[in-house]
Structure 1
Amino acid sequence: MARPSRKDDILQAALACFSESGVDATTIEMIRDRSGASIGSLYHHYGNKERIIGALYLTGVGQYAALLDAGIEEGMSAEACVKLFVTCYVDWVAANPDWARFILHSRGRVEAGEVGEALREANREQGRRIAGLLSEHRRAGAFKELAAELFNSVVIGPSQDYARNWLAGRTKVGLIDCRDQLAQIAWESVKA
């Protein structure tokens, strides 16, 4: 397995600092100390704390997108597609709770920051891939008539809400233990 790059080391150090101290209280010096990077290296790779926040956010959502892309197979049924969206999300959150917590709490800041347009473009691209995957199933009448924005919210909304509560320690049942049930709920909510 390849050693993480200096950029990865900085992002992981930032995530640890954000998790321990909060995003606002974390300083560049704390990230530098935690990562072992020189201040020059840190500024060379990211420039400032806001760009670190943006890069960490984009990397995390990119990991979910990659997990989803890896699970997509030619000719998947509508049910399998919908369930894949949920199971990939649950799997990623369960495997990366600190990162997921950061993403859930930092979206507005990232959207308003320097990488906001990059985030919007990544979301548009992911949306196009998902729409393409679902288009044949939509034409075949596999889904209820729902606006695309509503469809996405109905599919992932319950999982996001449960994940948020699980990440906050407000659930008795583990997120991964609810994975298949959340996927089934999503499918039942949108199937024709």
Structure 2
Amino acid sequence: MIIQWIVFILASLSAVVFALLMITRKNPIHSAVCLIVNFLSVAVLYVLLGREFIAISQVIIYAGAIMMLVVFTIMLISVEEVRKKPLLRMGAGGVIGIVLTILLLGYLGLGSFGGSLYGEKGNFTMDVIREMGPFKAVGKLFMTDYLLPFELASVVLLVGIIGAVILAKKER
């Protein structure tokens, strides 16, 4: 039990420290590496909470695929050209983004008081998930109730990859 607390404290401190390092680095590659370490620290926290599927997804999807895409994008674009351009002021898009973020956080806050975020309602209660196992439960949800959003997410990722390849070829 004491080892879990030590690992928890180390992973938590690591997540916070590397998040702060990520936002304070001037070199975007260093910032991306700090974000990868942050993702790995958060994955350790998920394992300590008993959510192995989320931890594995965190490592494979975020620390693996998406961060490698970010690193390659940073390496393909010219960082010097971006630094020479003046920063844009927050216009209507920034205000709309802030308002939508506040609305989303409010919606999530209201949803958490209803208890539905903890699996107490619906077909997949905590008892059903314990009986099936978390991997089978998530797989069943992806292939039944959430098949369309799952497929749309894969199409969006595919379009992003194709767009990155097209942008990289235009520069050459």
The two structures have a TM-score, normalised by structure 1, of 0.26
Higher-helix-fraction structure: 2
Determine which structure has more spread, i.e. the larger CA radius of gyration: 2
The two structures have a TM-score, normalised by structure 2, of 0.28
- Bigger relative contact order, structure 1 or 2, given CA contacts below 8 A and separation 6+? 1
